Chain A
Amino acid sequence: MNIRGIVDKMKAPFDKGQKLEKLYPAFNAFETFLFVPNHTSKTGAHIRDGIDLKRVMITVIIALLPALFYGIYNTGYQYLYQTGEEFTVLDAVIHGSYKILPMIAVSYIVGLGIEFAFAVFRGHQVNEGYLVTGLLIPMIMPVDIPLWMVAISVAFAVLIGKEAFGGTGMNILNPALTARAFAFFAYPTYMSGNQVWVSEASNVDGVSGETILGMLAAGGSTDQYSMMDMFIGSIPGSIAETSTLMVLIGAFILIYTGVGSWRIMVGSVIGAALTGMLFNLWGANELMSFDWYNHIIVGGFAFGVVFMATDPVSAAQTLKGKWIYGVLVGVFCILIRVFNPAYPEGVMLAILLMNVFAPTIDHYVIDASIKRREKRLNSKLKMA
């Protein structure tokens, strides 16, 4: 018997009128994971594009993988380098995996559990959005955060950030950033400071786990890191945010396949660069005089802009709106970094802030089109 036959046999109790009917969405999620279903177009166009939401989401996951792999390596590298012992790349990867894979597992188990429960409860199919969110959440957390905090943050993001608004496609804030913001404000000691960014920094004497932005905010110097370090990503930070190079590979995949909006990415870089230049001229504190191009490659800026700001649900939806939204994300990111020494990383709050304003931006963009239509009508009426 082939796989299809086995699946068909298993499917029988989930069909309409059978005893497991209610659990059909859960079974459907597994079935469609194995097979693209045999559904044919019933109304509307008879032919359909090869894309579907699963493929969109998996493309994003593929784009995330370089940053994730580097993040796993860098976690081990930061720890082993600071302990001063000799180590190989493999040692670093092993240490990183030991730290990070459980976080990913917790994120998927908790998040998908809630998604499945809601799908069964509401009787709709399981949407694939969480596949990306579930991977993003551990990637933007500090490495030492306890697993139970990951679980609570995930639950908060999915329940309050997403399902409360009606589920996939309806949320206002990016769910992954909602999880991070929740953790940040609920457990600040695990989410900021100079002890959380390098694995087990608090247990090892003499290890400094401060991020570059944190050092700058404290008025310190960052001479120990070269621009190349910042670009490649061998610096402390949230798990997968450090490597601008790997994020660029992801950005290339997103733009090349057409899945991610290049307008938002380019807009953000322009916004951040211009704001950074302006502050360079001013130069009143360490963060202001930090070169604008370094602002773009350190911290979570690149990661946030490529993978979080481009979330189509919470970003602006119109083409012009995407430009405005992107530029403003960049501007606010640098503004928050420079003016808020208590919280040197600005990209999370900048994106969340713009998520809230995205519908307003779209409103004015669409309103312009409506105005053009009204103007056309009015000029017609005048002529008549």
Chain B
Amino acid sequence: MSKGIVIKNGLSINIKGVADKELKKVPLPNKLALILDDFHLIMPKLLVKEGDTVKRGQPIFYSKSNENIKFVSPSHGKIEKIVRGERRKILEITISTDKNDSAIKHKIPALEKIKRENIIDILLESGCWPFIKQRPFDIIADPLQNPKSIFISCFDSAPLSVDFEFILKDQIESFKYGLKILEKITPGNLNIGVNRNQEFLNKELDDFNKNIFSGPHPSGNVGVQIHHIDPINIGESVWIIRPEDVCIIGNLFLEGEFIPTRTLAVSGPPINNPKYFRTVIGAKLQSILNLIDFKNGIQCRIINGDVLTGKTVEPDSYVGFYNNNISVLKEGNNYKLFGWIPFINNSVPSIYRSSFSWLSSSEPKEYDTNLNGEERAFVVTGEMEKVFPMDIYPMQLVKECMIGDIEKMERLGIYEVAPEDFALIDYASSSKIEAQTIVRNGLDYLIKETL
């Protein structure tokens, strides 16, 4: 097997509590929700009101900017509550499920006859469209656009993250069917990124245009893969989809129904026997957390997503639309006496050899959420580049995003990056710079000013 592309700059963070390859099916929870925060920049226009009964796959709201982009109910049930925040902004829409499992049926033409327009219409109508995101900007794709290619990364290199090979194993047929469908909607290539160690996927995906990657995180980030295979130029766009969402699209075209299966790696140091759970998109978190054996006496943070890019959520929240991870970390809200002196606080790992933690760097460690310092001005240089495997100067780009100089942002390569590519910079920065937030704001500013 060829070595493929080797990513050199980056960092694989080794955290205790990686989920065992053991899958547990969670019964349909009595409550689900769509969280609007998951759909960045989408202004919802409601199609239902509280008390309405909806079928699985029935549209609940659509995007004001493009009414064809519909968001559908993951289950049959009753719209329980439309939760609003400041200025009546919709935050989440909760649905109470019932025994009934009737779904909206879609007419699917045979694979050979189906055309690009048909596929896009079906994806839009069925509520599968929001699974397709676009670069630049990392937002839900515009169905009117013609992307130069589609990228799917079949491995996640983030710490404690999901093993897609494991969760795709029993869905491989629907995954491959989904890929065949997606191949038809791009004039360019459907690029699939696989890790060199994924023997099963490497074998199964031989018929597809796959690219082999190896190296530390962020080699699994789709943005890094795009950068190395087919970088985005100004004016171009690339569509990206997460692997399990390809299965959902595959199932849609096989069964004619929206089947929102979601397999989650529930992991983290405070959990005994972490493992995988299969539920549906938007499931109430409590339905999973109840099945988990937490270690006693630890104040935990529940994260919807991985530990680098996820969002902190309360236990009464819901599984996010895009994530395959629920991560749990110990809250690090304790003081450390003289913890800043080199070689004193050796339990906290560092990319610098300023503690003895590097001696045991191959061992998984118990990370917590302490910042290990305070925010400071930019001082140290070179640390961002160490964890950023693109031909882009991350510190300069972050600074331009803070300033808001569009021309310089463009020249420095803003169109090729997404906030998640800066997650390791958040981690590694000695000045505790919030790079992901800064880049997200920069991208939003760009959207506001240019689109």
Contacts and interface: CB of A to CB of B under 8 A. Distances in A.
B332 A40 contact: yes
Contacts of A51: 350-352, 354, 372-373, 428, 430
Given A45-B436, A49-B349, A169 B370 contact: no
B25 interface: no
B376 A55 contact: no
Contacts of B349: 49-50
Interface in B285-312: 301, 303, 307-310, 312
A44 B337 contact: no
Interface string A34-49: 1111111101111111
A36 B372 CA distance: 6
A284 interface: no
B432 A52 contact: yes
B141 to A, nearest CB: 21
Contacts of A48: 370-373, 426-427, 432
Interface in B380-397: 380-382, 385, 391-393, 395-396
Contacts of B351: 49, 51, 258
Contacts of B436: 43-45
Contacts of A261: 381-382
A257 B424 CA distance: 19
B371 A40 contact: yes
A52 B332 CA distance: 16
A4 B335 contact: yes
Nearest to A379: B233
B359 to A, nearest CB: 13
Nearest to A53: B376
Contacts of A32: 340, 374
B377 A59 contact: no
B378 interface: yes
B293 to A, nearest CB: 22
B329 interface: yes
B447 interface: no
Nearest to A315: B381
A39 B434 CA distance: 14
Given A46-B329, A47-B369, A50-B345, A55 B374 contact: no
Interface string A116-147: 00000000010111000000000000000000
B395 to A, nearest CB: 7
Contacts of B371: 37, 39-41, 48, 52
Interface string A234-262: 00000000000000000000001111010
Interface stretch (A69-77, A149-157, A344-352, A369-377): A369-377
A207 to B, nearest CB: 41
B211 interface: no
B354 A36 contact: no
A50 B411 contact: no
Nearest to B408: A370
A40 B303 CA distance: 14
A170 interface: yes
A54 interface: yes
Contact of A312 (B340, B375, B379, B393): B379
A46 B301 contact: yes
B233 A318 contact: no
Contacts of A215: none
Given A36-B345, A128-B376, A380-B233, A52 B340 contact: yes
Interface in B76-90: none
A36 B159 contact: no
Contacts of A228: none
B370 A39 contact: yes
Nearest to B346: A50
Interface string B58-80: 00000000000000000000000
A313 B378 CA distance: 8
Given A35-B337, A47-B427, A257-B354, A54 B377 contact: no
Given A45-B436, A257-B354, A36 B377 contact: no
Given A40-B333, A52-B430, A46 B372 contact: no
Given A36-B345, A51-B372, A312-B381, A43 B437 contact: yes
Contact of A169 (B333, B341, B377): B377
A366 interface: yes
B331 interface: yes
Contacts of B231: 376
A46 B312 contact: yes
A58 B338 CA distance: 12
Contact of A258 (B301, B331, B352): B352
A315 B340 CA distance: 25
Contacts of B423: 44-45
In this complex, the member of B351, B355, B393, B436 whose beta carbon has the largest number of chain A beta carbons within 10 angstroms is B393
Nearest to B308: A45
Contacts of A257: 342, 352-354
In this complex, the member of B349, B377, B378 whose beta carbon has the largest number of chain A beta carbons within 10 angstroms is B377
A370 B233 CA distance: 12
Nearest to A43: B437
Contacts of A4: 335, 337
B377 A55 contact: no
Contact of A43 (B307, B339, B354, B434): B434
Contacts of A101: none
Contacts of B161: none
B377 A41 contact: no
A45 B353 CA distance: 21
B203 interface: no
Given A55-B342, A169-B379, A34 B337 contact: yes
A48 B11 CA distance: 13
B348 interface: yes
Contact of B435 (A44, A49, A366, A373): A44
A88 to B, nearest CB: 33
B362 interface: no
B336 interface: yes
Contacts of B375: 125
A50 B431 contact: no
A47 B328 CA distance: 11
Contact of B392 (A34, A36, A169, A369): A369
A4 B333 CA distance: 13
Interface in A47-93: 47-56, 58-59, 62
Given A49-B372, A170-B377, A370 B427 contact: no
B128 to A, nearest CB: 30
Contacts of A50: 345, 348-350, 352, 354-355, 357, 372
Given A59-B342, A257-B354, A167 B337 contact: no
A55 B327 contact: no
B333 A55 contact: no
Please name the 9 residue pairs, one residue from A and one from B, whose CB atoms are nearest each other, closest first.
Answer: A52-B373, A169-B377, A50-B348, A36-B339, A45-B426, A50-B350, A54-B340, A44-B426, A36-B336
20 contacts: A38-B334, A41-B370, A41-B371, A45-B427, A46-B310, A47-B367, A49-B429, A50-B350, A52-B431, A53-B379, A55-B340, A56-B380, A127-B376, A312-B380, A317-B382, A318-B385, A366-B393, A369-B413, A370-B412, A376-B231
Given A50-B352, A56-B354, A259-B354, 5 more contacts: A38-B335, A56-B430, A319-B382, A369-B393, A380-B233
